[in-house]
Amino acid sequence: MTRMNAAKNSLATREPTPEYGPCMRVLHLRWQRAVLMLFVAKGNQTKAIELAGYEGKPDVLKVTASRIYNQDSVRAAIAEQMRSRIDISEPEVFEIVASIMRDPKEKAADRLRASAMIWDRSNPVMTKHEIVVSHQMTDEERDIRHWLALKKIGAPQDAFLARFGPNGIARVEALVLAEEAKRRELEAGTINVDYEEIIPDTMPAPAVVATEKQTFDEDLL
């Protein structure tokens, strides 16, 4: 029983193994080490692959480093590690900025700048864009509007003549009629339905089955 309890306690206290991201997991073990050592070597590629276990003359190591770190899969893994390290360094960055903001011995400008950095991060500015869409009326559209406006106020025929001229009245009338016909076609289309009337078996069957054709307004369907 004691051994079993000890085994359980050992499992309970065992630290989980850190997991790599998907880009790191697909790399060979030596390339994984090369990625990690790049941060240890502070970006020195030749030094990084030496730390990762590669051996050779300096020129050979330099060529090997260039070949490894220019692989798309390695570059993706480096970017993945960068994002991870930036995320976990944010608490430290926050404390540095907050310490400047809280320190009365710091310059007022520096404290204000630190306050602005924290404020902007916690309350990001939202930029609103207003999009204005304009429509340039054609001469025909303008004539139709003027015609309808004159009709609405009950203007005399002289007003139509003054606006459109004796030769333009017929043209504008045709435009108005075409516009009205188009609007009616779009707003009040009809559907023709052919159907056969089915008589239940309990009722006397007629000599013929009636066929009717009806028109339904789309608004009623």
SS3 of 185, please?
helix
With 0-12 / 13-18 / 19 or more C-beta atoms within 10 angstroms meaning exposed / middle / buried, residue 62 is middle
What pTM was computed for the model? Answer: 0.47
pLDDT in tens, 137-182: 788 888 888 878 888 888 888 888 888 888 888 888 888 888 887 7
Has residue 215 got a pLDDT over 50?
Answer: no
Torsion of CA 176, 181, 185, 190, to 10 degrees: 150
With 0-12 / 13-18 / 19 or more C-beta atoms within 10 angstroms meaning exposed / middle / buried, residue 220 is exposed
Contact 153, 145 (CB under 8 A): no
Q: Where are the beta strands (DSSP E) in the chain?
A: 190-196, 211-217
The pLDDT, as a whole number, for residue 195 is: 44
The pLDDT, as a whole number, for residue 213 is: 43
If pLDDT is split at 50, 70 and 90, which confidence band does 69 have? very high
Top mean pLDDT of 16-25, 26-35, 136-145 is at 26-35
Average pLDDT over residues 10-24: 73
The pLDDT, as a whole number, for residue 2 is: 59
The pLDDT, as a whole number, for residue 201 is: 52
Instruction: Give Cα separations from 125 to 91, 109, 117, 120, 122 (angstroms).
Output: 22, 21, 12, 7, 10
DSSP 133-172: ------HHHHHHHHHHHHHHTT--HHHHHHHH-TTTHHHH
Mean pLDDT in the chain? 78
Has residue 9 got a pLDDT over 90?
Answer: no
The pLDDT, as a whole number, for residue 144 is: 84
Average pLDDT over residues 103-116: 90
The pLDDT, as a whole number, for residue 6 is: 58
Q: How many other β-carbons are positioned within 10 Å of the β-carbon of residue 30? A: 12
Pick 221 or 88 by higher pLDDT: 88
The pLDDT, as a whole number, for residue 49 is: 92
The pLDDT, as a whole number, for residue 157 is: 84
Has residue 217 got a pLDDT over 80?
Answer: no
Domain spans of the chain, in order of start: 18-122, 139-220
pLDDT in tens, 35-45: 999 999 999 99
Among residues of the chain, what percentage have pLDDT more than 90? 26
